[in-house]
């Protein structure tokens, strides 16, 4: 099936540790996005990538890093510099200008202990 796979679905981390969230897609979309969701705040853009080997900071990039070595993959690393990393993280791909639609994965919930 075509879609976006995020893993792990749940992740627990101790303070001071880096963690990496995986996002894989087989929709053949060029652009990929990472959003952070907190209760009552909607979705906020962390990073996005419009093409392989290129990525741009979003509105809340501090404390996060990404890579885009393959079209299918866009992993997000939550570093120890992120002050409040407990959140729900959503990966999405863009269907292009003809649809304008973002397609979302099922999300990963990160909890810092």
Binding site for other proteins (CB under 8 A): 4, 6, 31, 33, 35, 40-45, 48, 50, 58, 88, 90, 92-95, 97, 100-102, 104-107, 109
Give the phi and the psi of residue 8 in degrees, each rounded to 5: -75, 165
Structure tokens at 105: 């994965």
Q: Pick between residue 90 and residue 112 the one whose CB is nearest to other proteins.
A: 90
CA angle centred on 89, ends 100 and 101, rounded to 5°: 10
Q: Is 101 helix (H, G, I), strand (E, B) or coil?
A: coil
- Pairing state between β 108-112 and 87-94: antiparallel
Nearer to other proteins, 60 or 80 (CB): 60
CB of 39 to other proteins, least distance (A): 9
Q: Which is nearer to other proteins, 33 or 64 (CB)?
A: 33
């Amino acid at each position: 099936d075509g879609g976006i796979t995020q893993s792990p679905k749940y992740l627990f981390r101790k303070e001071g540790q880096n963690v990496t969230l995986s996002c894989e897609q087989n929709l053949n979309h060029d652009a990929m996005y990472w959003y952070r969701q907190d209760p009552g705040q909607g979705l906020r853009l962390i990073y996005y990538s419009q093409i392989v080997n290129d990525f741009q900071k979003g509105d809340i990039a501090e404390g996060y890093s990404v890579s885009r070595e393959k079209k299918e993959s866009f992993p997000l690393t939550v570093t120890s510099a992120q002050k409040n990393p407990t959140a729900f993280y959503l990966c999405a791909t863009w269907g292009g200008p003809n649809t304008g639609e973002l397609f979302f994965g099922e999300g990963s919930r990160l909890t810092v202990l």
